[in-house]
Amino acid sequence: MSTMDRSTTAFQELIGTMRQHWANQLYPALHERFEQATQGQTPTDSDQAGQAVQDLPLYHWFCFIERHYQRMKYSDPRWGLVAALSARPDWVAEQLHPAQDSAYLRLRPELPLPDYYSAIDIHQHPGNLVGADYDGLMYRASATSIHPNTRRFEAHERMAQWLQSQGNFLSVLDMGCGFGKCGFPIARHFEQAQVLGIDLSAPCLRLAARTAEQEGLRNIRFEQADAAQVPCEDASFDLVTSTQLLHELPVEVIAQVLAESYRLLKPGGLVAHLDFRARQPWPQFLIEGHSVRNNEGFLPGFNRMDIAAAYLAAGFEPVRVEPFAETEGATRADWPYWRFPWTLFWSRKPA
């Protein structure tokens, strides 16, 4: 955010540097201690993996820093994002599409928010993504220091490239689109497509619509809607996708989202949800611990659910569950740094 004062900029840069150090220095050291403790034997489950490190001071600091770098980023009373953005309402207003419908935006202020959505300050984002006008801007600013060792929004660019390898799509639904970080690369890669992004968060949608308008993207628009109950006709799309949506949902809502994905797809259409999955004991221990420390309470339920059965129950062909490299080489077995266990869940609606 170039409009931040020098102190806020220096503070937020420090937060990003801390995250990088945590991922690239502390995590490899912790992993080395884990390897020493287990002596090359694979633990039977994530609990046993945790027992190998949970008494180490290094692990305590690893957890503490993961929790508090993120808390400080948002909630530091002087230089956190809440303080910075709430003090600049005029600048915030300039960045957002007006809260009225246009070719880029349709809001539904009457749309009820599901209970699960307001149950948690996801990512430690105070008040979640629906409280203040600046929530989308805050989410976008925060996202810059979440994914170490990748270029800005690199995973989303790579997802769009992967989609290109699967064919051409003319009608695309991006569920849980946020401020557009997933939908924009798709709109750019599929110039002939009409892309619809839906999300519950009006502040995110207003930022997405304004960004699309400013970038002159004519083939994407945004609507306020629940991915579990989308106000579109059956068989409206030939691609239904999401990125980092499913793990934020309770298991029963995930089933609803998959059912909607099926209903909304044309026969033969592609469903591709990009998210996280870690079923080996050590990465499972790490990601489920992350879920506690970063207020992502539904992530363990998603991680442990039988996703293959859920796709089949929705009507899809057998789902492909594939590791996804958010940057070149990230899925290599010897990748040394902390990372999210990006995973692609894709299938097709029978033709």
Chain positions contacting other proteins, by CB under 8 A: 6-7, 10-11, 13-14, 47, 50, 54, 60-61, 63-64, 67-69, 71-72, 74-79, 82, 86, 115-116, 119-121, 124-128, 131-132, 250, 288-289, 291-293, 295, 297-298, 300-301
CB 143, min distance to other proteins, A: 16
What are the backbone dihedrals phi and psi of residue 159, each rounded to the nearest 5 degrees, phi first?
Answer: -65, -45
CB 196, min distance to other proteins, A: 28
For 125-168, give the secondary structure using H, E and C.
CCCHHHCCCCHHHHHHHHHCCCCCCCCCCHHHHHHHHHHHCCCC
Q: Which helix (H) or strand (E) element contains residue 309?
A: helix 307-314
CB 343, min distance to other proteins, A: 19
Which one, 119 or 309, has the nearer CB to other proteins?
A: 119
Cβ burial of 7 (10 Å; 0-12, 13-18, 19+) is exposed
CB 13, min distance to other proteins, A: 8
Which one, 127 or 267, has the nearer CB to other proteins?
A: 127
Length of the chain: 351
Which one, 79 or 104, has the nearer CB to other proteins?
A: 79
How many other C-beta atoms can be found within 10 angstroms of the C-beta atom of residue 5?
Answer: 12
Q: In what order do the strands lie in the sheet with 220-224?
A: 105-106, 220-224, 194-199, 171-175, 237-243, 265-276, 342-348, 320-323
CB 135, min distance to other proteins, A: 9
Which one, 136 or 183, has the nearer CB to other proteins?
A: 136
CB 18, min distance to other proteins, A: 8
**Residue 161 and residue 185: Cα distance in Å, rounded?**
9
Which one, 64 or 335, has the nearer CB to other proteins?
A: 64
Reading the block at residue 45, the tokens are 């489950």
DSSP code of residue 330: T
CB 160, min distance to other proteins, A: 32
CA separation, residue 329 to residues 26, 126, 165, 323, 339 (Å)? 20, 34, 19, 11, 12
Which one, 69 or 316, has the nearer CB to other proteins?
A: 69
**Residue 250 and residue 117: Cα distance in Å, rounded?**
10
